[in-house]
Amino acid sequence: MREYEGMMTINCEELEQGFSDLSRGQVDPQRRAALEEHRRTCPHCRQFSADTMELRLVLSELPKLETSPQFIFNLKREIHRMEGGQAARGWSFSLFPHPLALTSGFALAILLGYVLFQPATSPVMDPANMASAPDLIPESVEAPSVAQEQVVPQVITPPATPQVIRPMTAAPQEQFLLTQDAVVDTARHRLPETPGTDSIPIPVQDDLWRMNQVSTTPGGP
């Protein structure tokens, strides 16, 4: 801010507020001269003036919006309606009578308060006494059985003693024959022979066919 003899004192804030009037030429000559002098000597106001003029130039190049022919008529009618205190068209709480609206609002508030702040019906238990109150457990919930929770120890069966199979001292046929009390008919049953004494049956013509044991071993009887 600077003072000149015979000239008004202008600061930056006053120039920003009066720049619009200055650009349109709507200020008196004395104030116009003071604004021009301050803008010439102040770098900040000089930059502000340049930016404002550039912005106005860009805005002037934008396409203009055309309003509806009924816009002015509708605007005046809306202003007249608002000044007359008429309600706008549409749904509103004013459709209901005021006593009914107030009564409904109080009833709704009481109902919501009863639902939200309803006291709990379940008994409040002290944590210290919860262990000594088993009868408060609901019937539908069964307490876990101690026997069910116990782990049954697994019984490990020792391996069975292996069965000792003793070797047979004689052939099965010989053992079978030795266990018989009756006399064994050698004509029908062939007894085992020692190695080297092979024999073949030779038929003998007689009253009955009999089988004689004839040795086929060389040097045998």
Per-residue pLDDT at 47? 92
pLDDT digit string, tens, across residues 102-133: 677 767 778 777 767 766 555 556 656 555 55
The pLDDT > 90 percentage for the chain reads: 6
Pairing label, strands 199-204, 210-215: antiparallel
Contact 187, 206 (CB under 8 A): no
Mean pLDDT check: name the lowest of 20-29, 93-102, 118-127, 186-195: 93-102
- The string of pLDDT tens digits covering residues 123-177 is 556 656 555 555 555 555 555 554 455 555 666 776 666 665 665 555 565 665 5
Distance of alpha carbon 3 from alpha carbon 9, whole angstroms: 5
CA distance 211 to 201: 6
Contact 44, 12 (CB under 8 A): yes
How many residues would you count in the chain?
221
How far apart, in whole angstroms, are the C-alpha atoms of residue 29 and residue 6?
Answer: 13
* pLDDT reported for residue 118: 67
Supply the pLDDT for residue 5: 46
SS3 21: helix
